[in-house]
Amino acid sequence: MNTRQALMLPAVAAMLASGTSLVAQVTTGSLSGKVTQGGKPVARARLAFESPALFQPRIVQTDAKGEYRAMLLPVGNYTIKVSAEGMLGKTASNVRVGLGSNLTMDFPLAPPGRSVGQHRGSGRQCQ
């Protein structure tokens, strides 16, 4: 063992003994759920996640089962705008993504001329 290694050994031992974590910390959360119309999944619905925590809106699209998953969202408040061809869009405001959270929010959409009250998941009113 050379002198440099001998000097580094106590520093490394002190860091490990103090409980300092060398693993990356979680700094994000996620949102997932389903977009439906009349109980049926809506494929290719567009969800735009807007927040001051983002430089630009994060856009995700539902799969064939109407399911979406927005991963690695920075902690903050979000406005979520949901749209699909031939259906009335929805907006959910003040949706809070917390540190390490994994929220579920479903969005029932309606054809033009009808409206649907609340979406399942957060109890927040959609418009």
pLDDT at 120 over 50: no
Structure confidence at residue 92 (pLDDT): 98
Q: Does a structural domain hold residue 6?
A: no
- Considering the domain boundaries, does residue 101 fall inside one? yes
Q: What is the mean pLDDT of residues 84-109?
A: 96
Instruction: Please tell me the pTM assigned to this model.
Output: 0.71
Is 125 domain-assigned?
yes
CATH number at residue 103: 2.60.40.10
Q: Is 111 a domain residue?
A: yes
Angle at 91 between CA 86 and CA 94, to 5 degrees: 165
Confidence at residue 28, expressed as pLDDT on a 0 to 100 scale: 95
Structural domain total, the chain: 1
| Residue-wise DSSP of the chain | --HHHHHHHHHHHHHHHTT---SPPP-EEEEEEEEEETTEE-TT-EEEEE-TTSSS-EEEE--TTSEEEEEEEESEEEEEEEE-TTS--EEEEEEEEPTT-EEE--EEE--TT----BPTTT-PBP-
Give me the domain span that covers residue 43. 25-127
